[in-house]
Structure 1
Amino acid sequence: MAIKNHILGFPRIGLHRELKFALESYWSKKITLNDLLAVGKKIRYSNWKYQADSGLDYVTVGDFAWYDHVLNISMMINNIPERHQINEQKINLDTLFRVARGSRLVNKNCSASEMTKWFNTNYHYIVPEFTLDQKFCFSWKQIIEETDEALALGYTVKPVLLGPLTYIWLGKVKGINFNKLDLLERIIPIYQEVLAELSKRKIEWIQIDEPILVLDISKEWKQAFIKTYQQIHIVNTAKILLSTYFGDIHHNLDIVNILSIDGLHIDLIAGKYDLSQLHNYFNKKYLLSLGVINGRNIWKSDLLTWFTKLKSFMKFRNVFWISTSCSLLHVPLDLSLEDNLTDFVKSWFSFGMQKCLELSILSRVLNGKLDIEEIYHWIKPINAYKSSNIVNNIVVQNRLLQISSDHMKRKNSFFVRSKVQKLNLNLPILPTTTIGSFPQTSDIRKLRLDYKNKKISQLDYEDSIKEYIKNNIIQQEKLGLDVLVHGEPERNDMVEYFSEYLEGFVFTQYGWVQSYGSRCVKPPIIVGDISRITPITVMWSKFAQKLTKKPIKAMLTGPVTILCWSFPREDISKENIAKQIALALRDEVLDLEHAGINIIQIDEPALREGLPLRKNNWNDYLSWAVKSFQLCSSGVKDKTQIHTHMCYCEFNDIMSAIVDLDVDVITVETSRSDMELLEFFKNFKYPNDIGPGVYDIHSPNIPTINWIEQLLMKAIEYIPIQQLWVNPDCGLKTRTWMETSLALQNMIQATINVRKKILTK
């Protein structure tokens, strides 16, 4: 067969999120390690079988991870932070979980490794930690064991590994500063050993992912690529398919075309390639794998267009592969489960399993094994979508045209506003608050599900939610927090919940996607123009405010985050989608203010992740992203305090844009990185108020009073105390009430202690 097909990776959570539930059961000691291992094995076997049954030429192995594929490499090369090691104990699955989640060892808390976004996606990876005198060895043989499993089942196997250069790039130096590229000579031998083991098994192709090739890399890194793949190739008899994705690699062709590799995968969805000239770009000796099926969105592929383009490309290269643009990790697993969608709407979409089928159809038609009528049948719904009345809303389109610069700025500067707000809110120095959500118990989730399934009436549902809100307020007042929240018991997810009140979205029942570890999200799908159907949060915030004399903070999800954490439509620009969402949220913000809510938090954790990967494209994105936030937040009076929250990203890259948001208070994650962000403020004077998160809510560890005091004193070194707020680094929905109460007690006591220290100086 001249044209072969494969995928770069498959979702690993299981058809019904089996991995999530098994992990959480294991962590809570409800199942044994053997039980957990059995679940993982069953998922892998199911994934491989589906790939083979759908007609893929290679079954991808090594894409399964118990928590994260970057952490898999840390385990493979024995890169385990010292704080997570237990004497001479051999590393095992519990070691992996300690690194990812934190732990308590030898009577001390061991913080989890930092977690941040995987390039510009909504997936999080565990950041590798590097020290000057680090030693590595091949200590975790998951890739070999799983390859043996798949081979024993008779599959044609293509193992996949994250490449050594991308791995080092993603890591952070700890302790004494040094050039982390110096570690390469210690890590390459491990890769040589792994590839030699795979070669012994008569593997034909090994996929090595090096997505940093779509980034701007220096001459030093380019030279490192040449050296690395020369050394790797020496010990390897299997062929190497170097995989790139999330962009194009034009700017790095000077080294890509001279690497010691046998094949190259490129992303034709996110990359700007001229397919008619593609044969001239790359080394003629390389087998090309073309990423033509979008691995990051759920729309059906226009197979006819791709057939036409690829048929033309066959004039220049009659042997190549077709694939997904990137791993299918970023899309749900199986569309056939979605019986809540109408057949008309459902026919527009393609999930992970269906994308494998798209590859199979396209390759078979290209190879003359299937009639082109199959393609015509597949794409018929695409044309129906374009003419659907679900898509276009003239009222929304006209409102967009009427936006002016006045819609995107506050009446007065922060200097003026902050004085008004201080008088109005009367908060102490170092005001304490939380990010918004409180523990989502099984009872709360059952209540929402019963209401959704119409097992209880709307009145009973609302009465029950009000009882949860009352309890949240009582607990916060007992703790002594200064700014309270209603706790969000009515919300399933920070994006899906808001989207349910917006025209232009549709929702799945089983469209789960892994965010990190056992955390899965169910992104809504944007199918048309967006407007607010009805007020979203006003009733709950207004009710909560009546229960207390302390200020209640309302929480909204910002326009860029709703966009980035949804599957967007592809027929209009992301800028226009974001501004449509912003206009809908602007209505909500003004309604909250009118209801007497004086603090409104508009979360934008996705602002950084939406950045294009090439810096020369940043300004355009940041311009419309900031304007979208301003559009939804700037219509309020001076006395209304606007907050935003961001977590798990490199804030330094976008600090000027964060300033341009002109929020009154920003809360940010800093605890996992040991307040690393604060170093930035040595030379950068952030003009508004800021709350650097003082403890990591994703870890079961309870922060000590002394620990939080130290972080606060460190923060005061960099930021004037008058500008500082005190808060956890994220929402508390995943924690238990016991963990939450103990952690917040310590946070508040530490704040009281620091206030006394400062005031007595």
Structure 2
Amino acid sequence: MEKHILGFPRIGAHRELKKALEAYWRGVSSTSELLSVSQDLKERHWRIQHEAGLSYVSTGDFSFYDHVLDTTAMLGAIPERFDVGGSSTPSDLSTYFRMARGDASRNIPPMEMTKWFNTNYHYIVPEITASQQFTLSSTTLIDDTRRAIACGYVPKPVLVGPITYLALAKGVDGYDCWQSLDAVIGVYKEIVTQLDPLCRWIQIDEPVLCADMSPVAREAFSQAYDVLNASVNSAGLLLTTYFDALDDNLDIAFASGCAGVHVDLTRGGANLDAYIEKLPSSMALSIGLIDGRNVWKTDYEKVLTKVNGSLDALPAERVLVGSSCSLLHSPVDLASETKLDEELKSWLAFAVQKCQEVSDVENLLSERSGTGRTEGVAILDRNTSAINSRRLSRRVHNPLVQERVSAIDEKMFCRQQPYEVRKDTQAWLDLPQYPTTTIGSFPQTSEIRAKRSAFKKGILTEENYEGFIKKEIQRVVKEQEALGLDILVHGEPERNDMVEYFGQQMDGFCFTSSGWVQSYGSRCVKPPIIYGDISRPNPMTVKWITYAASLTHKHMKGMLTGPVTILCWSFVRDDMERADVCRQLALAIRDEVKDLEDAKVKILQIDEAAFSEGMPIKQKDREKYLAWAVDCFRLSTSCVDDSTQIHSHMCYSEFNDIIGSIAAMDADVISIEASRSKMELLDAFKSFDYPNEIGPGIYDIHSPRVPTKEEMVQLLEDATAYIPKERLWVNPDCGLKTRDWPECIASLRNMVAAAHEMRKCG
């Protein structure tokens, strides 16, 4: 059997890409230096795949910012505002990065960004106009494929499929993106024709096949693949699906005419026998058996049981063994974790190890069929030992936590009174119309990071570190008072990450030193690993938030990360239901909420930035998820008095399908990302009478540009078409930790001025 992965992480084991990008953006390194780093990373990652014994190395999985943006560049689809001087080309890095990050010097906003299906990876949303011309404008994929051949590897080029691309695109001024289908297919035809003589397989990713496809997308799919399959001779198209089962779209996938199809067997409950039964005799089947989205060592015996002779119906040459999806969503290399507890480490596998797991599983499957080598017994014994170590470990299970979850009753999910009554009890806040606040964090400067690192290494004493943090909080409070913000925050200088910080203070979590995963561009996160039952031994935030409150006469907002977001932004144990893990998290956050209220912190924001991210990608599976996700938020927040105001924050969410669930969360105030979409995300509120208060973000913090007061006034005026002004708050899209102080001050000053302008207008 052949063996492969669908893609490898881009960032490098030591975040080499992040460092190179940020040096380039600061102007301290050249284009050639950035290109050199990228080439080194590509070749290193090809070597890892080759040395693991994989049949192919993936080309085209590397990106300087985002693979969907790369596809936009390949298609030549530059939005007009980025075509500076009329001579810009997508392959030009300055144009490419302008599309992703905007252009502060010319006051050009970036393209929209949102979540890649139900992951924490963000892609740049394509913008298509009626006049858009498409032409093959980047040959990077072809060049990389030739380079891999020159290095002695067998390449498998990777493309985002045309149907997924158009399904994720945004039509400008009401344009129907599907009208561009023929032009887009024309470019795809050209690139697969050029790739055809270079490789055995061309991987075309169509994860939209695992989602709910519109009728027009289904019709377009057949049209597109009729053209593309006719464009290759020596190579075969490997139609790649992932993140769920094919279900209702199995028929069009298997009728695509492609030489092979990849299915994800780790999610969605897909049945391999059902796939094999309907598989055309001319088609190869790639089976995703190694989970590309979690960090647990694969249970080989469990995988073998899942396959359980099903592959006997197929000759080995028609089978590929692979990862479930790209390993983009996994940390790079477990070998970098030199300080991790050895028992915990023995339970894990990162991208490098998952490449080896693909080879191991293929070996075991081949050996069972009598066609493989004789290494299987030793491989299986080592794996079984690690799996049993985790299953039987006492550190995983806490009976007290399990008993507390069992004791949850219905009253614990409800505030004392509905919002209409609560808002009167919160009148003591005495807030003006269009009250201003921020989402929570302020810049995490290099000095803050250096002091935290020194404290962690024992170089800086606890007393000196805490003294430094107090000075940072003093600065944040002083700056907010000077800006005239109505509700202040303490700025979170003591927090390394909005999830990791809390996980480090709870039982049931462990942490890596190099387990970085790309979120977008150069932004990387280091998700905690939930390996056992969760509890909160001591207060986590009370000390710093009450200190900040003591520095001002203004209202101070306490900041917590919600249970659903902690769940979604962690690598979660796979030996129990996610809903049950989330309930444990909700009880831990509930304890913190109550401690803050008892400490006289009467405005509390429990962020659920990942609320929509956690949803299954199929509509049929969402009701169950939304029910327990809403319950977990309410379980964490409903212990407070009615006079305490509960906020929540969500970012990069499409609200139309879940607005009822957001209302059911019953937060007094929600804040959401809205500036990049120019308030279009608020369309959900046209037909749904949202009862509580809302702060649609009017300052895009993911771009370095400073928005003008006039822009923000316009966004607020647009928002009043959806939300009554009496219930509108004024805030940025998200936290400010990734920004610099000068741009924060300038942007927030304009934001406060915009709120004052709106107040003048009544």
Q: What amino acid is the match of 2:646? A: I
Which secondary structure does the structure 2 equivalent of 1:626 belong to?
Answer: helix
2:31 counterpart residue number: 33
Kindly indicate whether residue 187 of structure 2 is the aligned counterpart of residue 190 of structure 1: yes
Query: Given the superposition, is the C-alpha separation of residues 310 and 401 from structure 1 closer, same or farther in structure 2, using an over 3 Å criterion?
Result: closer
Kindly indicate whether residue 314 of structure 2 is the aligned counterpart of residue 321 of structure 1: no
Partner Cα separation in structure 1 for residue 308 and residue 418 of structure 2: 59
Q: What amino acid is the match of 1:134? A: Q
1:94 counterpart residue number: 94
Kindly indicate whether residue 443 of structure 2 is the aligned counterpart of residue 407 of structure 1: no
1:723 counterpart residue number: 727
Q: What amino acid is the match of 1:32? A: S
Work out which of the residue numbers 200, 203, 209 in structure 2 matches 1:207. 203
Which secondary structure does the structure 2 equivalent of 1:605 belong to?
Answer: coil
1:256 counterpart residue number: 253
Q: What amino acid is the match of 1:224? A: A
Which secondary structure does the structure 1 equivalent of 2:555 belong to?
Answer: coil
Shift of 1:306: 2.2
Shift of 1:411: 0.2
Structure 2, gaps ≥5 residues long: 367-371
2:222 counterpart residue number: 226
Partner Cα separation in structure 2 for residue 571 and residue 270 of structure 1: 14
Kindly indicate whether residue 125 of structure 2 is the aligned counterpart of residue 120 of structure 1: no
Partner Cα separation in structure 2 for residue 75 and residue 53 of structure 1: 32
Q: What amino acid is the match of 2:283? A: Y
Shift of 1:254: 2.3
Which secondary structure does the structure 1 equivalent of 2:548 belong to?
Answer: helix
Partner Cα separation in structure 1 for residue 392 and residue 20 of structure 2: 44
**Are 2:472 and 2:493, in contact at CA under 8 Å, matched by a contact in 1?**
yes
Kindly indicate whether residue 304 of structure 2 is the aligned counterpart of residue 307 of structure 1: yes
Alignment of 1:27-176 (within 5 A): 27-86=25-84, 87-91=86-90, 92-104=92-104, 108-175=106-173
Shift of 1:705: 1.0
Partner Cα separation in structure 2 for residue 670 and residue 447 of structure 1: 34
Query: Given the superposition, is the C-alpha separation of residues 310 and 679 from structure 1 closer, same or farther in structure 2, using an over 3 Å criterion?
Result: closer
Partner Cα separation in structure 1 for residue 306 and residue 739 of structure 2: 51
Which secondary structure does the structure 2 equivalent of 1:552 belong to?
Answer: strand
Q: What amino acid is the match of 1:636? A: V
Partner Cα separation in structure 1 for residue 192 and residue 699 of structure 2: 40
**Are 1:523 and 1:566, in contact at CA under 8 Å, matched by a contact in 2?**
yes
1:281 counterpart residue number: 278
Shift of 1:309: 4.4
Q: Deviations over 1:6-34 (max 9, x none)?
A: 00000000110000011011111011111
**Are 1:435 and 1:728, in contact at CA under 8 Å, matched by a contact in 2?**
yes
2:604 counterpart residue number: 600
Work out which of the residue numbers 287, 291, 294 in structure 2 matches 1:290. 287
2:380 counterpart residue number: 375
Partner Cα separation in structure 1 for residue 25 and residue 405 of structure 2: 49
Which secondary structure does the structure 2 equivalent of 1:103 belong to?
Answer: coil
Kindly indicate whether residue 661 of structure 2 is the aligned counterpart of residue 657 of structure 1: yes
Shift of 1:277: 4.0
Work out which of the residue numbers 490, 503, 511 in structure 1 matches 2:494. 490
Partner Cα separation in structure 1 for residue 684 and residue 357 of structure 2: 47
Partner Cα separation in structure 2 for residue 366 and residue 434 of structure 1: 54
Query: Given the superposition, is the C-alpha separation of residues 339 and 656 from structure 1 closer, same or farther in structure 2, using an over 3 Å criterion?
Result: same
Partner Cα separation in structure 2 for residue 254 and residue 353 of structure 1: 34
Partner Cα separation in structure 2 for residue 745 and residue 480 of structure 1: 8
2:460 counterpart residue number: 456
Shift of 1:716: 1.9
Structure 1 window deviating more from structure 2 (447-456 vs 491-500): it is 447-456
Work out which of the residue numbers 685, 692, 698 in structure 1 matches 2:696. 692
Alignment of 1:480-559 (within 5 A): 480-559=484-563
Q: Deviations over 1:142-195 (max 9, x none)?
A: 1111111111111111001000000000111111x2332111111001001001
Shift of 1:308: 4.5
TM-score, normalised with respect to structure 2? 0.97
Q: What amino acid is the match of 1:417? A: R
Q: What amino acid is the match of 2:66? A: D
Partner Cα separation in structure 1 for residue 460 and residue 748 of structure 2: 34
Partner Cα separation in structure 2 for residue 337 and residue 32 of structure 1: 29
Which secondary structure does the structure 1 equivalent of 2:622 belong to?
Answer: helix
Q: What amino acid is the match of 1:595? A: A
**Are 1:504 and 1:527, in contact at CA under 8 Å, matched by a contact in 2?**
yes
Q: What amino acid is the match of 1:103? A: D
Partner Cα separation in structure 2 for residue 220 and residue 569 of structure 1: 39
Which secondary structure does the structure 1 equivalent of 2:487 belong to?
Answer: coil
Partner Cα separation in structure 1 for residue 424 and residue 267 of structure 2: 47
Alignment of 1:380-391 (within 5 A): 380-391=385-396
**Are 2:204 and 2:240, in contact at CA under 8 Å, matched by a contact in 1?**
yes
**Are 1:300 and 1:379, in contact at CA under 8 Å, matched by a contact in 2?**
no
Kindly indicate whether residue 464 of structure 2 is the aligned counterpart of residue 465 of structure 1: no
**Are 2:13 and 2:336, in contact at CA under 8 Å, matched by a contact in 1?**
no
Work out which of the residue numbers 728, 741, 744 in structure 1 matches 2:748. 744
Q: What amino acid is the match of 1:156? A: V
After TM superposition, which residue ranges in structure 1, 4 or more long, deviate above 6 angstroms?
none
**Are 2:331 and 2:515, in contact at CA under 8 Å, matched by a contact in 1?**
yes
Q: Deviations over 1:39-71 (max 9, x none)?
A: 111100100011001100101110000000000
Q: How many residues align?
A: 751
**Are 2:682 and 2:722, in contact at CA under 8 Å, matched by a contact in 1?**
yes
Partner Cα separation in structure 1 for residue 273 and residue 150 of structure 2: 42
Q: Deviations over 1:261-309 (max 9, x none)?
A: 0000000001322234442032222100000000000001111232344
Cα RMSD for the two superposed structures: 1.1
Q: What amino acid is the match of 2:662? A: I
2:8 counterpart residue number: 10
Which secondary structure does the structure 2 equivalent of 1:652 belong to?
Answer: coil
Which secondary structure does the structure 2 equivalent of 1:207 belong to?
Answer: strand
Which secondary structure does the structure 1 equivalent of 2:152 belong to?
Answer: coil
Which secondary structure does the structure 1 equivalent of 2:133 belong to?
Answer: coil
Kindly indicate whether residue 271 of structure 2 is the aligned counterpart of residue 247 of structure 1: no
Partner Cα separation in structure 2 for residue 600 and residue 126 of structure 1: 32
